[in-house]
Structure 1
């Protein structure tokens, strides 16, 4: 099982990328969430100049954020700085759009966008449409300015079969956030494989699977719901609770899947943030400090049930068993989002994985 790290864009991110490379991590990703964090492409350009081996990922961009030519230009520019080391995650913009108070795009739009990026980043021509006007576009200058010779790895963000099928048709890998259920991963891989059978694509394209989570290794006699465990995993739990609160009124299917304790916690989050499930400005309240370290007063919102679902918390032996099960389900790389002490958390991850059976 390979390992990597996902962070938010901020000054000094390149120093963290250097540390990740020195630890032997395989990849370093930056979230693409405009108006919440810094710019992912700017951050990764600094990382590209500061490193020489580690793969660099956008996790993840969306057709609702940039046009295909603009996104392809950014990717090809990164590929010129770090040839053959770029990974582009593509999704519907579920987070990046909702933090703007907007809805994500559709899987069909994401598929069209992914196809356009694949073609442009390989130096091919696409049909670019704005309204009724359609024009053929391609890179006019390549080489030192935009690298289309070295391949960019593409992965599709998926929690269900529809997005996994997009990955199959486009010949890409998969990335999922907080999905630690091996059975669910078997279903995603099955959906991708079924879709891939009916669509020709590049046989040399990478189709790796990545899962994003948080990690907390329990100390001796430490409770699984200790303050330290809640602090290390709380950003993932709050992201789920914020999503449930944000969609409770206009798309209640998600919150309806939660248990009574979890639904009550969603209501408490709304009350604590001083908003409601129907307030038009709720995104400005619910997504404050999104994916950052949680405030101590919010520890009570970090339910053990959700910690166990979204994150890896346990003894070294417990965690190795869970990670091994994920590997057997087809996961190629485990990505953690560290928010307490990233260098130390990355070091603990590499040490933990070093003792897995080969």
Structure 2
């Protein structure tokens, strides 16, 4: 099982990326949620300059956030800084849209946007539309950095006496890995049709992963001889000490940000809330009271997503009931965690990515040691 780290985008993330590389992690990711965190492309640019071989991931962008040309330019620019090390996750914008008080985009838009990104970042043409007007677009100054001069070197341009930079702005020759955010078969099918990988969040059921993998393979095209796209699980983890309470404050603090995100989704989604067991549904009610809001409040989204995916506030600990710890966190002894991770790997998860929120340095070291 490969391993990675995810964190909020912002200044200082590059230090964590360097430490993750030193500890032997395969990837380092940042979230793309504009109303919550910093810009992922700026952050990963810093990470690209500070690291040497760790893969750098965007988890995840969305057609609701940027146009395909703008997103492709950002991805291609990162690829120029860290050739062949960029992983781009794309989703319907569940969190990013909801923090704006909007709904996620449609699966069809997810597919067309991801296809456009894939083509543009590989130097190919794609369709670009605005309303009823459409055109074919591609990067007009692109290439790889292979034998190019260092940035800032200039050479004469013809016989004009003027000088131009010899280095391309974006890299379209080094491969970019694309993964589609999926919780169900529709998005997994998109990944299959595009030859992309999968990424999901807080989903620990091996049977669910097996179903996603089947949905992807059912739609895969020209798969013979091709390398199987990777599957990534973003989650949280806590290794129990001898005699430690599985549902105590340390476990809640390490994993509660993922569990709380499930309660927030339930507060936003009546169908999801209706399927919750009674203790979790009651926790949703308590969450709304703590936030001082209701679903009819026009600023509902501002209150609900405050400190989203940040370290759990002490007053929120009582919201994390035992069933949430069991379902949305990886909590257990070293032996228990090794068995759960093995089951996930057998179900198709290739890389496990955690967000250490309490003490990132200690959390990364603990995770690195767990699977060493």
TM-score relative to the length of structure 2: 0.92
In the TM superposition, what whole-angstrom CA distance separates every residue of 1:24-43 from its partner, at most 9, and x where no partner exists?
00000000000111111110
Shift of 1:202: 9.8
The corresponding residue for 2:54 is: 54
Corresponding residue SS for 1:340: coil
Corresponding residue SS for 2:140: coil
Mapping of residues 308-319 of structure 1, within 5 Å: 308-319=326-337
State the structure with more CA Rg.
2
Correspondence 1:280 to 2:302: no
Shift of 1:52: 0.5
The corresponding residue for 1:94 is: 94
In the TM superposition, what whole-angstrom CA distance separates every residue of 1:257-301 from its partner, at most 9, and x where no partner exists?
101111111011011100002222110001001100011111000
The corresponding residue for 2:267 is: 245
Query: Equivalents in 2 of 1:14, 1:133: separation in Å?
Result: 41
Query: Equivalents in 2 of 1:221, 1:280: separation in Å?
Result: 46
The corresponding residue for 2:39 is: 39
Corresponding residue SS for 2:208: helix
Query: Equivalents in 1 of 2:265, 2:360: separation in Å?
Result: 25
Contact 1:224 1:314 in 2 (8 A): yes
Q: Residues 59, 202 of structure 1: CA spacing in aligned structure 2 closer, same or farther, 3 A cutoff?
A: farther
In the TM superposition, what whole-angstrom CA distance separates every residue of 1:302-352 from its partner, at most 9, and x where no partner exists?
111111111100100000000000011111100001101111111111111
Aligned residues: 348
The corresponding residue for 1:219 is: 241
RMSD over aligned CA atoms reads 1.2
The corresponding residue for 1:335 is: 353
Contact 1:246 1:286 in 2 (8 A): no
Shift of 1:253: 1.2
Mean CA deviation greater in 276-285 or 101-110: 276-285
Query: Equivalents in 2 of 1:17, 1:211: separation in Å?
Result: 18
Correspondence 1:271 to 2:289: yes
Q: Which ranges in structure 1 are unaligned for 5 or more consecutive residues?
A: none
Contact 1:216 1:229 in 2 (8 A): yes
TM-score relative to the length of structure 1: 0.95
Corresponding residue SS for 2:204: coil
Shift of 1:206: 5.6
Moved over 3 A (4+): 199-206
The corresponding residue for 1:30 is: 30
Q: Residues 202, 22 of structure 1: CA spacing in aligned structure 2 closer, same or farther, 3 A cutoff?
A: farther
The corresponding residue for 2:158 is: none
Contact 1:246 1:282 in 2 (8 A): no
Query: Equivalents in 1 of 2:223, 2:96: separation in Å?
Result: 29
Query: Equivalents in 2 of 1:162, 1:195: separation in Å?
Result: 10
The corresponding residue for 1:142 is: 142
The corresponding residue for 2:162 is: none
Correspondence 1:68 to 2:105: no
Contact 1:156 1:172 in 2 (8 A): yes
Q: Which ranges in structure 2 are unaligned for 5 or more consecutive residues?
A: 144-167
Mapping of residues 7-18 of structure 1, within 5 Å: 7-18=7-18
Query: Equivalents in 2 of 1:62, 1:6: separation in Å?
Result: 18
Query: Equivalents in 2 of 1:32, 1:117: separation in Å?
Result: 16
Shift of 1:203: 6.1
Corresponding residue SS for 1:207: coil
Query: Equivalents in 1 of 2:323, 2:113: separation in Å?
Result: 36
Corresponding residue SS for 1:28: strand
The corresponding residue for 1:296 is: 314
Correspondence 1:162 to 2:180: no
Mean CA deviation greater in 303-312 or 157-166: 303-312
Correspondence 1:176 to 2:200: yes
In the TM superposition, what whole-angstrom CA distance separates every residue of 1:106-164 from its partner, at most 9, and x where no partner exists?
11100000100000000000110000111111001113310000010000000100000
